[in-house]
Structure 1
Amino acid sequence: MSANKSPHVIVAGGGIGGLALANGLRKAGVSVAVYERDRHRTDRVQGFRIHINPSGSRALHGLLPEAAYQAFIVSAGKGATRFGFVTEQMKELLNLDSEATEGERDEVDRHYGISRITLRQILLAELGAVVQYDKAITGYAELPDGRVEAYFADGSSAIGDVLVGADGGTSRVRAQRLPRAERVETGIVTVAGKFTLTDESRRRLAPKFLASPLAVMPPKGCGMFIAPHEFDRPDPRYSGIGGNDGAAALVPGALFDNTQPYVFWAYAAKRGDYPGELESLDATQLHDMVNRLTAGWAPELRELVGGSETDTITLIPIRTSVPVPQWETTNVTLLGDAIHSMTPFRGIGANVALRDAQLLCRKLVAAANGEQPLLAAIHDYEAQMIEYGFAAVRDSLTAAEQTVSDNSVGRAIGRTVFRVAEAVPPLKRKMFAGFGSE
């Protein structure tokens, strides 16, 4: 890249982090193109609500056009700031919400909850032709003139001054750029399922499961996460976002009409605590197994698990990235799960990716404006990202290990602490002020 030329940035991957980065660069006038493996912009009609903490909200506010950020604010909020802890007998341990733990904050510096689908569509709304679909990256080459060429599965390629690997936990960019950066099994395995919500099935389900996410804390050895997923609809006040380049603002309403809401659950335990060879079990056998493992739990939880459709039951081994030391900077860098993939047990992965996007955007804009050499800007980003990103990885792994701990004494103490905090609101505010933050 010549000294008087703004860089062209290639982003491999159209997930939350990659799209947020593209929005920020586009907003700042830096040339950017996103190459996404999905064939169409509406392919990812899946996933449950995700928690956006104040750090993530600030990143979105800085990266998105104002109308798109307001669409995020309006679309978020249902059950957004609540999280509960219960025993396996549905005895209440602790209820958290932002008002109870933090008090009122301004609009930007708050916790939100939003459908992953809706957030992705808001992130796509202003990008239009910036995003190209059916472009799965397979690798890249560093060119003699200092630029980088990305190669895609369809035989095409693209040349830019910077390549950002935002292509998730199985990143092809990371595999080539940092082959020593591993993603490994934690020894924890979840079996997950979905309870489809209809007018009739809602009446069979405990209202608590429909209100907000819950963590179930049995005496030892396992845990369960529960989250309702109601699909957001585009708000008519923001139907105009998307500019004049033909980009639709959000997923069409008809798509939501064909998408059934559900309550998601995931039972977690150490691999050795399950009976038999898990990978050899089909969905029916996995479902029967979790029914047996939760046989002594409260009827409400038994209904949730037993009433889920067997074809939704999935085995999910929990993986985590292995921290790596600072590497030599080039014009190929990484963002989000592509470098610091973490367990889902703290619910902060999306927020760390948004933090990456905001920081990298700021550094690339500085380089584009001639305030800093390009490689120095990327180096600064990587140095900071490695520190906070892998700290989040370690914290998430600790939370995962605590969830499946066999230490019954420690679990009993934890449940008592939760009950005491719930009974003393000032203590709860003090103890859980940073809940949900990296």
Structure 2
Amino acid sequence: MSLDKKVLIVGGGLGGLTLANVLKHQGISYKVFERDSSPDNRNQGFSLSVHLCLPALKLGMDPIKYATLGEKAAVDRDHPRHANACLVDGNTGKRLFTFPSEGGTDVFRVNRERFRNWLLEDIDVEWNKRIDHYKVLDNKEGVQVIFTDGTSEHGSVLVGADGVHSQTYRQLIGPNEFDKTTTVHPVKILNCSYWIDSIFRREIEETLSFSHMMGSASSSEEAKHSICLFVSLLDHDITKKEKPYEMLWSVSCMDEDEPTFETDQERLKQAKDWIQKSGFKGLLNRLVLETPEDVKVTPLQVTERLPHPKMDTLRGDPVVLIGDSIHKMSQFKGVGANHAILDACLLGAELTQVHKGEKTLDEAIDIYYKEMLPRGRKAVEESHQAVEIMHASRAQINGFISAMANAKE
């Protein structure tokens, strides 16, 4: 079958919007349905690095729009390609490794909200649309999506880009199997951002990193687990004369006995306690301990999902999945959004060939899954391992660092 009707994309996150951009550039009819009532209905998260997906994104979307990515979405739009990361020894405050990203390298550190808004530009989205279920049409000549408000839409193919709670995936493999593949990691995470002055910012740049950094610290050599701290530039606003830099910190703890608090003040105290008790030193310690008392501190739950084994052979229906809906991973390796965007670009390329009559939809979906499923499984597993490594004992972390050092030589 050809794409004689619209491609229906359920989910207006990074993956769904990327696919819409690719399809639009190729002249393929599409429509995005997003459950949020508006683009600014909820917080879109903090910041992320886009890297492994960029060659495919550059190839798949409008080159004129792609050329504006840095100036519109980077955390520091004056220096959009400054995305170097570093690993820090939390107990000494010293930088261990820098992972450079300079010059023409395809890497951007982006503000997630601005990045999504950039993807949203000139894209057809219908807001406040939550999928209830779908029906495959007779002879599999398309699909009907039924929404919770009673409306429906017909299309050639349904793309489930509806995230970790994907109703599309739940229906496709069944609710029991869906629940089996979805797990919650015990790690506890607290996120916060606030604005700092240029002097403090310059110290961070010169001592640690221009962009983002991660470190671990533990109370002693014998401690079973370490506390992990991730820090990143989130925004640079020259109109804020006294404090023009917004910094994000994200502190995480593996202790299941740690309580969960309801107020920002209690969460901030808990985060500061974690930093102090684990022995963080230097600028990372200072950034957290100097956090103002009136900030918002957001708890974060890490949900993980490996693609179900059924997906290796489940074919035939005009329904396909991308991003977190099928491979949800922890953020500790920094690749989740990259894989969602890469999924969208590769699926978009396959659908373009269907649109041109070069292959069938069944062939396109099969080729897409044969590449995506092993890649997605590997990314979920490696991201899970990254959580364990960054919260391991001091000796285990030192062993990991030594292995990295040997690999760099």
| TM-score, normalization by structure 2 | 0.84
**Contact 1:205–1:303 (CA under 8 A) maintained in structure 2:** no
Going from structure 1 to structure 2, the CA distance change for 1:297 and 1:335 (only over 3 Å counts) comes to same
Q: Residues of 2 paired with 1:283 and 1:290: CA distance?
A: 10
Question: In structure 1, which of residues 123, 126, 129 is the aligned counterpart of residue 119 of structure 2?
Answer: 123
Going from structure 1 to structure 2, the CA distance change for 1:38 and 1:145 (only over 3 Å counts) comes to same
Question: 1:382 and 2:369 equivalent?
Answer: yes
Over the matched positions of the two proteins, sequence identity in percent amounts to: 27
Report what 2:85 is aligned to.
83
Going from structure 1 to structure 2, the CA distance change for 1:133 and 1:90 (only over 3 Å counts) comes to same
Report what 2:191 is aligned to.
192
Report what 2:159 is aligned to.
164
Going from structure 1 to structure 2, the CA distance change for 1:293 and 1:34 (only over 3 Å counts) comes to same
Question: 1:35 and 2:33 equivalent?
Answer: yes
Question: 1:8 and 2:6 equivalent?
Answer: yes
Q: Per-residue deviation at 1:197?
A: 0.6
Report what 1:222 is aligned to.
227
Question: 1:96 and 2:91 equivalent?
Answer: no
**Aligned with 2:272: secondary structure?**
helix
**Aligned with 1:34: secondary structure?**
strand
Structure 2: gaps (5+ residues): 219-224
Q: Residues of 1 paired with 2:362 and 2:236: CA distance?
A: 42
Worse overlay, 223-232 or 43-52? 43-52
Question: In structure 2, which of residues 343, 347, 370 is the aligned counterpart of residue 360 of structure 1?
Answer: 347
Give, as a single letter, the amino acid of the residue that structure 1 aligns with 2:291.
S
Worse overlay, 110-119 or 201-210? 201-210
**Contact 1:209–1:227 (CA under 8 A) maintained in structure 2:** no
**Contact 1:209–1:226 (CA under 8 A) maintained in structure 2:** no
Q: Per-residue deviation at 1:414?
A: 3.4
Report what 2:211 is aligned to.
212
**Contact 2:204–2:283 (CA under 8 A) maintained in structure 1:** yes
**Contact 1:50–1:115 (CA under 8 A) maintained in structure 2:** yes
**Contact 1:13–1:165 (CA under 8 A) maintained in structure 2:** yes
Question: In structure 2, which of residues 284, 287, 299 is the aligned counterpart of residue 301 of structure 1?
Answer: 284
Q: Residues of 1 paired with 2:201 and 2:371: CA distance?
A: 49
- Deviations 1:179-238, CA, capped at 9 Å, x for gaps: 3242201222212222x11549957984557831110122552211111101589xxxxx
Structure 1: gaps (5+ residues): 234-253, 422-426, 431-438
**Aligned with 1:217: secondary structure?**
strand
**Aligned with 2:300: secondary structure?**
strand
Q: Per-residue deviation at 1:304?
A: 2.0
Give, as a single letter, the amino acid of the residue that structure 1 aligns with 2:334.
G
**Aligned with 1:98: secondary structure?**
coil
- Deviations 1:233-270, CA, capped at 9 Å, x for gaps: 9xxxxxxxxxxxxxxxxxxxx9x99xx96311111222
Q: Residues of 1 paired with 2:210 and 2:198: CA distance?
A: 17
**Contact 2:81–2:107 (CA under 8 A) maintained in structure 1:** no
Question: In structure 2, which of residues 130, 133, 136 is the aligned counterpart of residue 136 of structure 1?
Answer: 130
- Structural mapping, 1:21-420, within 5 Å: 21-43=19-41, 46-53=44-51, 55-75=52-72, 76=74, 77-78=79-80, 80-88=82-90, 89-99=92-102, 107=104, 110-127=106-123, 130-144=124-138, 146=140, 147-178=142-173, 179=175, 180-181=177-178, 182-194=181-193, 196-197=194-195, 199=197, 206-207=204-205, 211-219=210-218, 220-230=225-235, 262-272=246-256, 274-275=257-258, 277-278=259-260, 282-295=263-276, 296-298=279-281, 300-309=283-292, 311-325=295-309, 326-329=312-315, 330-406=317-393, 408-416=394-402
Q: Between Structure 1 and Structure 2, how many residues are aligned?
A: 384
**Contact 1:115–1:231 (CA under 8 A) maintained in structure 2:** no
Q: Per-residue deviation at 1:44?
A: 5.4
